[in-house]
Amino acid sequence: MKFLVALVLVVFANNVTAKKSYRGHRLMSVKAADKQQLDVLEHMMKTAEPWLDIWSYPVVNRTAVFRVPPSSYGMFMSRMGLANISVTLMENDVEDFLKRSSLPVSGPHAETSPFSGWTGGFTTHTYYKRYGEIVSLLTGMGNTFTSLVKEVGVLNTQTYEGRTISYIRFGTPGDKPVIFIEGLIHAREWIVGGTVMYFMDRLVSRYSLDADAKFLLDTYDIYVVPVANPDGYEYSHTSQRLWRKNRSSHRNGCRGVDLNRNFDAFWRTEGVSTNCNSDIYCGPSVFSEAEAQGIRNKVAEINTGGQRLHAYLAVHSYSQLVLTPYSYDYVKPDNYAEIESAAAAMTQALRLPFNTDYTWGHGPTTLYPVSGASDDWAMLGGGARYTYTYELRPKEANFEISPTNIIPNGYEFWLSVVALGCNMNGVSATCDF
Ligand SMILES: [Zn+2]
């Protein structure tokens, strides 16, 4: 009996993964006053020396936010001092900050509680679901809403840790223009998964009740990959809350590629690092990662027999923004006028229910240029006429946000997709939004 108890304890101990603590990690806001100072910051980001976690990217005269672990702090501060860059301490203990942030808060734009609208039908939206539960829900939707779900399947690749990447295709009979929604390509942006799940639930649960849901499903085929980076997403639950990349293995045991730098869109030219230690590592080669390959192959399949991908939505957090293409440089697609006018309608929709402070703008100007991102590839390689990157709640630097935000943020996102659906050219549809 004693032996059995000991055995059980050993098994239990082996199953417990120590979760990374952010005790003593600082959040620093940094402002580069000129190009020279910006170069210093960019050099640190690209070489990962000292190692920094970039929460908001540096741009001249705009505040950047870095998480600085205790081991990097000395070198970081001395570089800032040498370059005369102004630094402000925002939080002196990220562990406490995350704990605080996960609690419901009241105040302007934080959330809207109690929410007086529709809060869910097929599932509840009160906590952040793990990958396994999300996959089961997709299967469940497919089995329950047989006339509204055309397919539930997996992309034709497997992740480094052996997971499949699930997708779902919604729509009523007939091949229609496609809206493709990609979620959680960045592991730590948990609000994205909750928001996209609310969107999917609303789509099927409200089809016979809401003109909006009926309009979307009668007009479009909607593909959703709710968790494009399942290895990273699970790792952010079990081991490191602030993990961003996937989990593929590289030289010297270094792990992870930033999947949103791995697509074939001027790969490795702007806003990337070629150092695996960096959080913006673009990978050893273009489309080296299974997750990016899977999306590429699915889009190719959608376009077999003719261009069907019409809009591609890459959903991220945080900042409360709708970003327009291109992302890789300060250039715009030829059809920018129509992209811009739909972005304005989407942003108005995001603000509509709670006056949440969403704005829209050209990616590189609003944030920073980024090459190898999925939104650009969807246009350049996938032929999409409209591509957008969402940065969801919150407005201020943070990846941890109370799950009480899921429903209101989900509703805002829902309205914005309806607005997009109503405001795209090249689709014959009648709607008013
Ligand atoms: Zn992101």
CA of 182 to the centre of ligand 1 (A): 11
Helices 406-422 & 211-219, crossing angle to 10 degrees?
60
Give 17's pLDDT tier (boundaries 50, 70, 90): low
Task: State the Cα–Cα distance between residues 9 and 50, nearest whole angstrom.
Answer: 40
> Which pLDDT tens digit goes with each residue over 331-355?
999 999 999 999 999 999 999 999 9
Q: How far is the CA of 189 from the centre of ligand 1 (A)?
A: 7
Told to judge if 189 belongs to the known catalytic residues of this protein, a careful annotator would answer no
Closest listed residue to residue 175, CA positions, set 297, 296, 301, 293: 301
Give the Cα separation of 184 and 237 in Å (integer): 13
| pLDDT over 90 at 104, yes or no | no
Would the pLDDT of 7 be above 60? no
Q: Tens of pLDDT along 260-296? A: 999 999 999 999 999 999 999 999 999 999 999 999 9
Distance 85 CA to ligand 1 centre (A): 26
What gap in Å lies between CA 170 and CA 151, rounded to an integer?
7
Mean pLDDT of 51-58: 94
Read off the pLDDT band of 115 (50, 70, 90).
confident
Instruction: Indicate which residue of 91, 111, 291, 391 is catalytic.
Output: 391
Domains of the chain: 26-95 (3.30.70.340), 131-422 (3.40.630.10)
From CA 63, how far away is CA 30, in angstroms rounded? 6
